[in-house]
Amino acid sequence: MKSVFLYLYLLLTLTSIISCQSNSNKAEHKTKDSINFESIKGITFHEVNRKFENGLSFDTIGFQQEPEWIIRFQRNDSVEVYSYELKKLVGFYLHHDHKNYYNFAREWFAVKLLSKDSIILQRLEVKSLRVKNDDRSNVYMTFYSEDYMDKVLRKNKEELMRPSAKDTAFVRERIDLANAHPLDSAYLFAARNPVKLESKSKAIMVEKFSSFDPLTKSSSYDYLYPEYKINIKNAYKNFNYAFRIVVDTSGKITVYDFPTYEEDTKENMKKVLQGICDIYLSNLLKVTPGNTLGIPQASLITVYVKGKS
């Protein structure tokens, strides 16, 4: 009987030792994986470029990744991020999850490079505690310290933030295709600087309005899907239409599409809408085509046109 108790005692002791060693190894592994931010404590870093994995800042629909963050690490669990609304650096808890994955300012990042001169962060799209393997998780943010920009590169932040030659070549290629096929959805490319519509007469009022909702949409919606309210006085009759138009590089307006439920009236409705564009919009508005990187382009916009007789 004693031998049985002795055996159980030895077994429990051995299990306890193994468990302690395992926990110790886990703790050591976690500490080893974490990154020491103390080495860059108090250094202010400015984001100078933000690119997709392919090295481009633009995607095929015209969305542009733009550098805008300013950050300063204070401790291994604390970071400050510049708020453009408050016009100051705001403190956030720096949460280390595992490996090089961190969360702060409501975003997830993988730290790819960390030095006193520069930082590279990979922005991660996380859903249900899992990293989504798509373009949103393949965005790389490069930061430079102020000293590195001033004393080593001898360039200011604005110079470093300019689109690259690779970006310009890509944008020009996409715009050439959009201009050659302005009504083909396969070649649509949003203008980073959207179409401008300006009233030339008291008979018409136009307003570009923002669809940006910080809770549900990115601010990029304002240039990816520009929308305009247009009110016309002394119209031939009362009407209220919502439809999309393409504005080409000469400012010509062409109806692209509109909500319809009856196919047999579609062609007639298209003629009505095109007539409104030709008679009212083209004559009463100053139309400036959209452009990206200064290159004029055909682009798609939504208009809400209300006429009052």
Same domain, 129 and 152: yes
Residue 212, domain member (yes or no): yes
Same domain, 190 and 274: yes
Break the chain down into helix, strand, coil percent, rounded to 5. Answer: 30, 35, 30
How many folded domains does the chain comprise? 2
Same domain, 59 and 186: no
- Whether the CB-CB separation of 307 and 230 falls below 8 Å is answered with no
Residue 16, domain member (yes or no): no
Residue 11, domain member (yes or no): no
Same domain, 191 and 134: no
As a whole number of Å, the end-to-end CA separation of the chain is: 106
Q: What is the pTM of this model?
A: 0.82
Residue 139, domain member (yes or no): yes
**Rounded to whole angstroms, how far apart are CA atoms 266 and 272?**
10
Same domain, 278 and 187: yes
Same domain, 241 and 110: no
- Whether the CB-CB separation of 189 and 172 falls below 8 Å is answered with no
Give which of 301, 50, 56 is closest to 172, Cα–Cα: 56
Same domain, 100 and 191: no
Adjacent-strand bridge partners of 176:
none
Q: Choose the final residue of a domain: 162, 188, 222.
A: 162
- Whether the CB-CB separation of 155 and 149 falls below 8 Å is answered with yes
Residue 226, domain member (yes or no): yes
**Rounded to whole angstroms, how far apart are CA atoms 275 and 199?**
18
Write the single-letter amino acid at 290: G
Residue 144, domain member (yes or no): yes
Question: Averaged in consecutive runs of 10 residues, what is the pLDDT profile of the chain (309 residues)?
Answer: 40 38 36 75 96 95 96 94 94 89 92 95 75 69 97 95 96 98 97 98 94 66 96 96 98 95 88 97 98 98 97
Q: Choose the final residue of a domain: 104, 132, 162.
A: 162
Residue 15, domain member (yes or no): no
Q: Choose the final residue of a domain: 134, 162, 190.
A: 162
Give which of 192, 170, 178, 193 is closest to 246, Cα–Cα: 178
10 Å CB burial of residue 196 (0-12, 13-18, 19+) is middle
Domain assignment of residue 149, given as a range: 37-162
Give the CATH number for residue 67. 2.40.128
Compute how many other C-beta atoms are within 10 angstroms of the C-beta atom of residue 73.
Answer: 23
Same domain, 303 and 175: yes
Same domain, 204 and 273: yes
10 Å CB burial of residue 214 (0-12, 13-18, 19+) is exposed
Same domain, 187 and 129: no
What are residue 182's phi and psi, to 5 degrees?
-65, -25
Same domain, 195 and 238: yes
Same domain, 156 and 182: no
Residue 8, domain member (yes or no): no
Compute and round to an integer the Cα radius of gyration of the chain.
28
